[in-house]
Amino acid sequence: MVYLPGFKSKKLHTIFSKLSNYQWKIYSSEIKENSTEANLHFAPISEDAFLKDLAQCAGVVTAAGFTTTSEVLYLKKPLLVIPLKNQIEQELNAFILKKMGVSVIKNLKVNNLSKLETWAETLEVLEVDFPDETQRLVDLLLIDFIRAKMKLNHLNEKKEFKLLSLTGILTTLKNI
């Protein structure tokens, strides 16, 4: 799957049509309706269709933005990124992703066709450990809530409170 809304559809057609051994679903902001030409399947940008295709695709070629790259890595899909020019956050993301082992090419030009083809042939998945931080986040939200509640309740008393443990937090919460 190709998700490069910052690129002209003509450019995407020129490059990916040369990789005719592969089927490419290409999302482009310039496309208004689905169309197919040889190995290229063009689609307008649609969140529902994109998410469905993302779940089913063999790999993703996209810019180096945070959201799509994170989703692809989380879903354990092969990823190739092309940072958008003059976008410092894209360059930084691409730098970090490359250090992690993600395939990165600097631009979408004919001289990078061999890199695209090598990526498509191998479709290597990068295993990223996404630790479950749910409990820690809930604890932090709870602490912030209690502190805000205590501050409102005791604003006129000018007391300082220090929450030392989760037990102390829960005890304080029961008393509020």
What are the DSSP calls for 112-155, one per residue?
GHHHHHHHHHH-PPPP------HHHHHHHHHHHHHHHHHHHHTT
Tokens of 42: 């063009």
CA 107-44-105 angle, to 5 degrees, is 15
| 78: helix, strand or coil | coil
Give yes or no for residue 157 having a pLDDT over 60.
Answer: no
The stretches of the chain forming alpha helices (DSSP H) are 9-16, 47-56, 66-74, 88-100, 113-122, 134-153, 166-175
Q: What is the pTM of this model?
A: 0.73
Q: What one-letter code names the amino acid at 50?
A: F
Strands 35-37 and 40-44: antiparallel
**Per-residue model confidence (pLDDT) at position 141:** 87
Q: Which two tokens stand for residue 104?
A: 């990165």
State the pLDDT at residue 138: 86
10-44 per-position pLDDT tens digit: 999 999 999 999 999 999 999 999 999 999 999 99
How does pLDDT run across 51-107, given as a tens digit for each residue? 999 999 999 999 999 999 999 999 999 999 999 999 999 999 999 999 999 999 999
| Pair of tokens at residue 145 | 């809530």
Q: Which residue has the tokens 């990124």?
A: 81
Q: What is the DSSP letter of 105?
A: -
Domains of the chain (ranges, CATH numbers): 2-122 (3.40.50.2000), 134-175 (no CATH)
